[in-house]
Each structure stands twice: as structure tokens, then as C-alpha cells.
């Protein structure tokens, strides 16, 4: 069954130009909101003509240089951005790990933040209580779990966020770069955990600059550049083409 369907997707960021007169802005935007018409507006095209499909068990790695549209794609799948054109469909429960520590209170302990973050990700209270020990055990913070989050290192925060985001047993898990901040030991534990999730028929989309991370977690690869697809298919092939591009410059593609 198709979990993720991206069809001819285009994403455009409006550029809000402060040089235009305030009155004009108000009239234009209200005109748009009320009449649903779109005026001529400067926009940055972050993704264009992108199509792919993911089934249960697919683990897609996104690679590409800065500005390739990886994070934008993840946010679009998460429902943050609506397409300017095309069609996006994600079926099932989504869990996101796009930024660490979102919605967490840094003065609160890690223990309390498990509840806050779990609720934000859509878990029920009982579910979180049931999963709490597992989360604490996985992130392996020791006594730090009862310390305010402000005392955590970046890696510790990633470990906690990852443990919560994966505890939800999502149908679709979206992870941005952040995972790279964990140490080697965490990496292998995280890979195990993802592996376990995958046996429960989940789909993963992960963006990273590290080929090792992509290789560890993914079985499919999407190499993007300037918001367009360069290659989509097997992860090793995708990485190979990506590396070729890095070594030889753009001509290789």
C-alpha cells in the first residue's frame, strides 16, 4: 500500500517584500484572502516537478547540497507547507524529528518533557506513561533524565527527541539532519530501533549530509539539487551518483 505519494510537487516560498508600501500589501493580501486570487508575487521555488511513491518498509534517504529542498520536502510531507502545485498524500500516523527540542520546556526535566513532547507528537497520556521506561532506557541519559533540559548537550537532546519520536510507532517517520549529532554508539542503537520499527511496516524519510547515516538507515535514495530530482532509486546508486557529483562537479550528472 502506498504510504507516501508525491505527485508533480511544487513548493514556492513567498518572499515578503518590505519595500512595497504597507497599503499595497494590505490590499493585495486581503484581496487574495477574500477572493482567492493570486497576484504577481516574488517567490522562491524550493521544489519543482518532484514525484515519487513510498510503500511500507521503504526507507528513503534524501541527499543533496544545501538548498536542494530536502528540509522543505520533509516539512511538506509533515503537512507544514501546502503545495503550490501538485499533490501530496501521506497516509497514517506521522511522527517528526525535524528540529530537536521543539515545544520542550528547557527548564523542565527530561522526564517531564517526555510527556510534553509525546503529547505534541500525538501520543495519548496513557500511551506515554506506558512507553516512558522504554524511552528512558533507550536514550540512556542516566541521572540526567531528572535534570533540567538546559543542562543537556546537543547529543543528549537528540537522543531524547529521537527516543520520543520513535516511541509513537508511527506509520511514517520524518527525520531531518539532527540525527547526526548523536555519537557512534547512539547511531547503532538508533539503527536497531529503526530496524525494529520497519518490521512493523513503517516508512522512513531521512535527510542527511552523511553518507554513512544514509547507508545505515535507508534502502532507497533520492538525490536532489535545486529543488529537482536528479536521481531516485536504490540507495547505493543514489549515493554513488551523489559522490560522483561531489568529486567532479555538476557535469557528471
Partner 1 sequence: MADEDEDFSFGGKTGKTAGENPEPAASSQPSAEAAPEISMTGVETAVPVSTDPDIPAHMVRDADAPRRSAFSRASNDLWAALSNWTLWWRLSLLDIRSRYRRTVIGPFWSVLSVAILVVALGFVYALLWKVPYETYLPYFAAGYVTWVFITSVMNEHAGSFIAGANIIRSMTLPVTLHIVRPLFKNILIFFHALTVYVVAALALRYQLEQPLALLLAPVGLVILSANLLWIGIVLAVLCSRFRDFIQVVISVLQIAFFITPIFWYRTELLQDLNGDNIEAERGLADLILANCNPFYHLVEVVRGPLIGHVPEPITYIVTLSAAVIGLGFALFILGRSRGRIAYWV
Q: Which residues ranging from 79 to 98 are in contact with partner 1 (CB under 8 A)?
A: 79-94, 96, 98
Whole-angstrom distance, CA of residue 18 vs CA of residue 189: 48
Site string for partner 1, 14-43 (x = CB under 8 A): x-x-----x--xx--x--xxx-x-x-----
Tell which residue, 161, 91, 82, has the closest CA to residue 120: 161
Is 154 one of the binding residues for partner 1 (CB under 8 A)?
A: no
Is 200 one of the binding residues for partner 1 (CB under 8 A)?
A: no
Tell which residue, 50, 83, 7, 5, has the closest CA to residue 230: 50
Q: Which is nearer to partner 1, 64 or 211 (CB)?
A: 64
Q: Which is nearer to partner 1, 8 or 188 (CB)?
A: 8
Q: Which is nearer to partner 1, 122 or 142 (CB)?
A: 122
- The least distance separating partner 1 from the CB of residue 95, rounded to whole angstroms, comes to 8
Is 108 one of the binding residues for partner 1 (CB under 8 A)?
A: yes
Binding site for partner 1 (CB under 8 A): 1-2, 5, 7-8, 12-14, 16, 22, 25-26, 29, 32-34, 36, 38, 49, 51, 53, 75, 78-94, 96, 98-99, 102-103, 105, 107-108, 115-116, 119-125, 127, 228
Amino acid at each position: 500500500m502506498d504510504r507516501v505519494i508525491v505527485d508533480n510537487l511544487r513548493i514556492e516560498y513567498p518572499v515578503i517584500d518590505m519595500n512595497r508600501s504597507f497599503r499595497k500589501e494590505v490590499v493585495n493580501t486581503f484581496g487574495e484572502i477574500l477572493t482567492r486570487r493570486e497576484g504577481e508575487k516574488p517567490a522562491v521555488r524550493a521544489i519543482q516537478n518532484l514525484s515519487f511513491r513510498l510503500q511500507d518498509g521503504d526507507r528513503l534517504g534524501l541527499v543533496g547540497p544545501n538548498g536542494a529542498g530536502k528540509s522543505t520536502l520533509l516539512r511538506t510531507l509533515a503537512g507544514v507547507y501546502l503545495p503550490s502545485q501538485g499533490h501530496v498524500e501521506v497516509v497514517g500516523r506521522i511522527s517528526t524529528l525535524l528540529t530537536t527540542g521543539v515545544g520542550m520546556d528547557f527548564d523542565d526535566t527530561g522526564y517531564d518533557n517526555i510527556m510534553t513532547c509525546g503529547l505534541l507528537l500525538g501520543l495519548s497520556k496513557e500511551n506515554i506513561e506506558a512507553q516512558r521506561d522504554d524511552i528512558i532506557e533507550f536514550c540512556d541519559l542516566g541521572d540526567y533524565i531528572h535534570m533540567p533540559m538546559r543542562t543537556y548537550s546537543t547529543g543528549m537532546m537528540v537522543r531524547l527527541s529521537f527516543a520520543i519520536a520513535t516511541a509513537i510507532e508511527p506509520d511514517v517517520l520524518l527525520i531531518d539532519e539532527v540525527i547526526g549529532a548523536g555519537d557512534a554508539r547512539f547511531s547503532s542503537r538508533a539503527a536497531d530501533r529503526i530496524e525494529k520499527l520497519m518490521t512493523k511496516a513503517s516508512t522512513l524519510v531521512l535527510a542527511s549530509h552523511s553518507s554513512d547515516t544514509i547507508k545505515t538507515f535507508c534502502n532507497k535514495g533520492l538525490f536532489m539539487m535545486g529543488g529537482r530530482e536528479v536521481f531516485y532509486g536504490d540507495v547505493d546508486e543514489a549515493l554513488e551518483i551523489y559522490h560522483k557529483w561531489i568529486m567532479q562537479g555538476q557535469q557528471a550528472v
